[in-house]
Structure 1
Amino acid sequence: MWEEITVSQYIIQFLEAKGIQKIAGVPGGTILPLYECLAASNIHHILARHEQGAGFIAQGMARSSGEISAVFVSSGPGVANLITAIADAHRDSVPVLIFSGQVPLALKGTDAFQELDTESMVSSIVKKIYAIEDPTQIPIVLNEAYALAMEGKKGPVWIDLPKDIQMSRISISMETFSNEFSIQRHFSVETENSIEANSHSIHEFLKQWNEYLCQAKFPLLYIGGGAKKEYKRLRELVNQYQIPVVTTLMGLGIFEKEDPLYLGMMGMHGTIGANEALGVCDLLIAIGVRFDDRAIGNKDTFCPDAKIIHIDIDANEIGKIRKPNLSIKKDISDLIPFLLEDRLHNEFAYLKKSRNEPILNQIQTWKQIPESHPAKELILGLAEKIPNEDHFILTDVGQHQMWVAQYYPFSKPTQWITSGGQGTMGFGLPTSIGVSLSHPTHPVYCFTGDGSIMMNLQELATLREQNLNVKIILMNNEHLGLVKQQQDLFYGNVYSGSQFHFHPNFSMLCAAFGIPYLLWENDQNQDQDHLQTILAQNGPSFVEIKVPSEWGVYPFVPGGKSNQEYILELVKT
């Protein structure tokens, strides 16, 4: 039996069938047909105060759950406002389905009210954009888009819907209706270097892996966010092979800070041990990483004496920055069982004792270098006040982000969410809302700065409206701190555009939004119970901490320098 339903009805039923329970968005004229159908569904809509906020809310749901989220926006300014959040999702491989309204087909290309050429504007920041012109395309497009967002290296997929297309009716066979929602079409990125790993190539890879390990005097693992889902088995791998390890910003939490083989975060603000190890290793094993500039510094001097093994799910990343001696395009989840095989372990084990003793001694020497910084005491003190181990830590972008990355004792990588590749200020608050929507029983702690918080401040209204368990921790130094730090170091202390000359009263702002507020004077021996109480209470809360603008983030590797050319500076308080 056949039945006619509108494209909008089909989209909503598809999303329901895929388990989408919450959608963030901001409506407008060209997407109202879809909103009309949304109102009749069981999906809960989160009305953001800005489309960028809606995009980051969707990101928070996807980043914390590992599943696809969705966002609705209208055409024109709705699309333009959303772009920053989707560019951020694309760089950090976050699966989001975007549904944007568009002017009716007859008006496309006429500079109609709130018309933008969405397809040309967003094509470089999504895995694919579908500009729908035929309503009968929708069943196939939805299944393709859903599969594509989750396949391989995850990412956003955009569907642009003219208003008349949303209202068009399509004929659906009710006997096969439910089956259509489970159709999966698979995609692979085809490049000259794209070779799907098969049993033969895995065998050859393992043979060479073993040869390289046996030859190496100082092997080093370089692990990024693309591998965090396998953090338990990666910990086993490091323990089994006794290979030291460094991680990227996005890989924090894969290894616990107290692990004797873990040297910490590498890169621009990485630990001395991590960056020194990169300079002396003779075999670098890179897993789930992009070799981005913030991590490797000067690519020409990065690991100058090391052979490189690169394991990544995306063939486009292999050889893009540094050509590896050995590589495989493979999901680490599929490869790591082979790496943990007893045969490989036993062949390598006899070398451990004689070779690893000087390595382990050197690691301990590096790890004992003191990290003297007042931010360390502050972050660790706040960590002690956070009452629930099963929680999320988010940051905005800036000095506060780096201090949290350097010092917070993450127990697992799923606990840590930040903007990596794009480094988007304004990320923290709305993304925290999305995380809390997906995990309502898990406290969410959002570290932010006085520059970042203002960029999506309007979402405090969304936070209050949803009454979520999000705690905002504002580290206020009345500056754009990282900008000021570079002006201190490289621009003769000329503070052009880095100092705020007007300072909002955050206490009054929080009162206006109905959110409990505390000004925490960390250096004045305030009642410790008061801070712990406001962080532990249900619902949103806001803690402001005054931070001296003289505090910097160190170590600091200047742009274009090697990771061993770091600046160390004792901070004057």
Structure 2
Amino acid sequence: MSKEITVVQCIIQFLETKGIQSIAGVPGGTILPLYECLAASKIKHVLARHEQGAGFIAQGMARSSGNVGVVFVSSGPGVANLITAIADAKRDSVPILIFSGQVPTSLKGTDAFQELDTESMVTTLVKKVYSIEDPKLIPMVLNEAYTLACEGKKGPVWIDLPKDIQTKFISFPTFSKGEKEFQGSQILTSLLNPNGNQIGAQPFKKFYDEFANLLGKSKFPLLYVGGGARKEYKQLREFVKLHKIPAVTTLMGLGIFEKNDPMNLGMMGMHGTIAANEALGKCDLLIAIGVRFDDRAIGNKDTFCPNAKIIHIDISANEIGKIKQPDLSLQRDIADVLPFLLEDRFIDVIDKGGFNNEESLSQIEKWKRIPEIHPAKELILSLASTIPNQNHFILTDVGQHQMWVAQYYPFAKPSQWITSGGQGTMGFGLPASIGVSLANPKTPVYCFTGDGSFMMNLQELATLREQILNVKIILMNNRHLGLVKQQQDLFYGNVYSGSEFHFHPNFSVLCEAFGIPYLLWEKDQNNEMLEHFFLLEGPSFVEVNVPSDWGVYPFVPGGKSNQEYILDLVRT
């Protein structure tokens, strides 16, 4: 039996049926009807201290759980403050539902107090934006928006709600507590499955046969995997082991292969390993899975893998051929493809082609023996040795600390590693760590940050303390914007314009103000104290002083090929 409910009641009931446990947000006048309804729900609200923080908290929940994150903000400055976090989510394919307040429909277009044209501002930053004018459409919008956020290439979806629309009554069925599906109108399947071919259909068989033939003839195949392949890491490990195909990963693909796997050449690109970048220059077949050929990974696109045929598998048709035109491609979730690549008949076709890459594997071993010595490696490994157990999350902000962690931390699996990739957003780490801990309250979270990044969202220390979450902040303090200074060292004659902080906060006093335990740590001098500190319940803060002349190397300058890396200027 149906009854009349308000639009906001419909929204909250919908989120409850989808199993949403927590919502991050900052209220304001135009979103208060939704907040009033939320107060009667069992869904927990996490009050951030800034809308950008709320967006990253929602991201942390989504990135670590695989579920859709939800954020509420008010109109005008609330929307504007949230945009950075949503742009970050779009680039890294993070599923977020955003509900923003808007001025009443009668005031739209009049420059009313806290009015912004939300739809035009955010349309390029989300998969879709809905500006609600007809309250009767809200059930269909909710169903479609949720599915759009978490199907295919995931990403944020925005729903803008005028204040008067929120309180309108609509006729709609009630929901039972155990109900899994929302009783709304059907989703537009054309949005979700543009390629209707079934996995056993002719187009896939042709791809499968051509893949096996190319691999069978290859003498130097190389697997190039990224964030889109993270969920299938176990099968990818099996594929690499079975066929003895070396692999390189992007920043977002770290952890797909174990650090000590002989087939793992490590991270590629601007700060990639020598072995990974040299292999890219010599391979004759590049198997690209769940990647988008971004500039930080491939360097100069015109000189990238000059001798290789390219196979590209990705869930998004937009990524295939966008940067590099493949010789063979398939738009498909890798989960659908990998089982076929592990079958005996696939191996038989490869063997018939005379597959033998022993010579290339010998060359890779020579590249691996080239020393990559950096004091940051010892520092990161020393910190990693004090972290109590394998079951934890590692997050970073953006900067030199991020690259050092990416280069040296021994990730056990890809889900353990969370960072801002495509957008490279400073200020990501602290609020995202809060979201991760909210979604995984029993799992310790370690957030590596820098003095530049941390200051961009430090207000969320209040949120962290309020929630009493098990987040350990490791601040690597070099008193500079390190990556900016490094480029000024290399290309701008050591002119440190705008990269040096001339005032240095006392972080121990800051932590005292927020009621968070603080420790100043020096490598090898108080490791037992650090281990004990990490075992404390609740949040804690560790400061590590780092010399400002440490750079991140290897380093591939912008516009250069991945083989034109710099190993100099490494100072101890």
1:3 and 2:3 aligned:
yes
How many positions carry a matched residue from both structures? 569
Task: Specify the alignment match of 1:562 in structure 2.
Answer: 561
Structure 2 gaps, min length 5? none
Task: Specify the alignment match of 2:338 in structure 1.
Answer: 336
1:454 and 2:450 aligned:
no
TM-score by length of 2: 0.97
Please give the alpha-carbon distance, in whole angstroms, between the structure 2 residues aligned to 1:175 and 1:428: 37
- 1:490-529 alignment to 2 at 5 Å? 490-522=491-523, 525-529=524-528
Contact 1:87 1:422 survives alignment (8 Å): yes
1:311 and 2:313 aligned:
yes
Q: Report the AA paired with residue 556 of structure 1.
A: F
1:105 and 1:151, CA in 2 relative to 1: closer, same or farther beyond 3 A? same
Please give the alpha-carbon distance, in whole angstroms, between the structure 1 residues aligned to 2:571 and 2:24: 44
Task: Specify the alignment match of 2:245 in structure 1.
Answer: 243
Deviation at 1:245, TM superposition (A): 0.6
Q: Report the AA paired with residue 123 of structure 1.
A: T
Task: Specify the alignment match of 1:105 in structure 2.
Answer: 105
Deviation at 1:215, TM superposition (A): 1.5
Task: Specify the alignment match of 2:480 in structure 1.
Answer: 479
SS at match of 1:42: coil
Q: Report the AA paired with residue 544 of structure 2.
A: I
Contact 2:24 2:48 survives alignment (8 Å): yes
Contact 2:270 2:556 survives alignment (8 Å): yes
1:81 and 2:81 aligned:
yes
SS at match of 1:553: coil
Task: Specify the alignment match of 2:293 in structure 1.
Answer: 291
Please give the alpha-carbon distance, in whole angstroms, between the structure 1 residues aligned to 2:84 and 2:16: 27
Contact 2:173 2:183 survives alignment (8 Å): no
Task: Specify the alignment match of 2:283 in structure 1.
Answer: 281
Contact 2:139 2:185 survives alignment (8 Å): no
Task: Specify the alignment match of 1:571 in structure 2.
Answer: 570
Deviation at 1:157, TM superposition (A): 0.3
Please give the alpha-carbon distance, in whole angstroms, between the structure 1 residues aligned to 2:190 and 2:267: 32
Deviation at 1:366, TM superposition (A): 1.3
Deviation at 1:347, TM superposition (A): 2.8
1:306 and 1:190, CA in 2 relative to 1: closer, same or farther beyond 3 A? farther
Q: Bigger CA drift: 113-122 or 169-178?
A: 169-178
Contact 1:135 1:170 survives alignment (8 Å): yes
Task: Specify the alignment match of 1:345 in structure 2.
Answer: 347
1:348 and 1:111, CA in 2 relative to 1: closer, same or farther beyond 3 A? same
Contact 2:152 2:192 survives alignment (8 Å): no
SS at match of 1:125: coil
SS at match of 2:113: coil
Deviation at 1:186, TM superposition (A): 4.6
Contact 1:429 1:446 survives alignment (8 Å): yes
- 1:63-142 alignment to 2 at 5 Å? 63-142=63-142
Contact 2:90 2:126 survives alignment (8 Å): yes
SS at match of 2:261: coil
Q: Report the AA paired with residue 543 of structure 1.
A: V
Q: Report the AA paired with residue 260 of structure 1.
A: P
Please give the alpha-carbon distance, in whole angstroms, between the structure 1 residues aligned to 2:8 and 2:191: 30
1:342 and 1:461, CA in 2 relative to 1: closer, same or farther beyond 3 A? same
1:227 and 1:327, CA in 2 relative to 1: closer, same or farther beyond 3 A? same
Deviation at 1:478, TM superposition (A): 0.1
Task: Specify the alignment match of 2:269 in structure 1.
Answer: 267
Structure 1 gaps, min length 5? none
- 1:160-171 alignment to 2 at 5 Å? 160-171=160-171
Deviation at 1:471, TM superposition (A): 0.3
SS at match of 2:154: coil
- 1:395-544 alignment to 2 at 5 Å? 395-522=396-523, 525-544=524-543
Please give the alpha-carbon distance, in whole angstroms, between the structure 2 residues aligned to 1:542 and 1:431: 16
TM-score by length of 1: 0.97
Please give the alpha-carbon distance, in whole angstroms, between the structure 1 residues aligned to 2:51 and 2:65: 21
SS at match of 1:472: strand
Deviation at 1:309, TM superposition (A): 0.3
SS at match of 2:394: strand
1:190 and 1:442, CA in 2 relative to 1: closer, same or farther beyond 3 A? closer
1:570 and 1:370, CA in 2 relative to 1: closer, same or farther beyond 3 A? farther
Contact 1:67 1:95 survives alignment (8 Å): yes
Please give the alpha-carbon distance, in whole angstroms, between the structure 2 residues aligned to 1:496 and 1:469: 38
Among 212, 216, 219, the alignment partner of 1:217 is: 219
Contact 1:241 1:349 survives alignment (8 Å): no
Deviation at 1:269, TM superposition (A): 0.2
Deviation at 1:552, TM superposition (A): 0.2
Deviation at 1:355, TM superposition (A): 2.3
1:190 and 1:49, CA in 2 relative to 1: closer, same or farther beyond 3 A? closer
Deviation at 1:370, TM superposition (A): 1.3
Deviation at 1:438, TM superposition (A): 0.3
Cα-to-partner distance string for 1:408-447 (whole Å, 9 max, x where unaligned): 0001000000000000000000000000000001000000
Please give the alpha-carbon distance, in whole angstroms, between the structure 1 residues aligned to 2:557 and 2:197: 38
Cα-to-partner distance string for 1:246-282 (whole Å, 9 max, x where unaligned): 0000000000111111100000000000000000001
Please give the alpha-carbon distance, in whole angstroms, between the structure 1 residues aligned to 2:226 and 2:82: 27
Deviation at 1:536, TM superposition (A): 1.8
Q: Bigger CA drift: 73-82 or 166-175?
A: 166-175
Deviation at 1:180, TM superposition (A): 3.8
Please give the alpha-carbon distance, in whole angstroms, between the structure 1 residues aligned to 2:349 and 2:80: 56
Deviation at 1:544, TM superposition (A): 0.3
SS at match of 1:458: helix
Q: Report the AA paired with residue 251 of structure 1.
A: G
SS at match of 2:297: helix
- Give the share of equivalent positions with the same residue, in percent: 74
Deviation at 1:173, TM superposition (A): 3.8
SS at match of 2:466: helix
- 1:335-414 alignment to 2 at 5 Å? 335-349=337-351, 355-414=356-415
Deviation at 1:185, TM superposition (A): 1.3
Deviation at 1:395, TM superposition (A): 0.2
1:167 and 1:526, CA in 2 relative to 1: closer, same or farther beyond 3 A? same
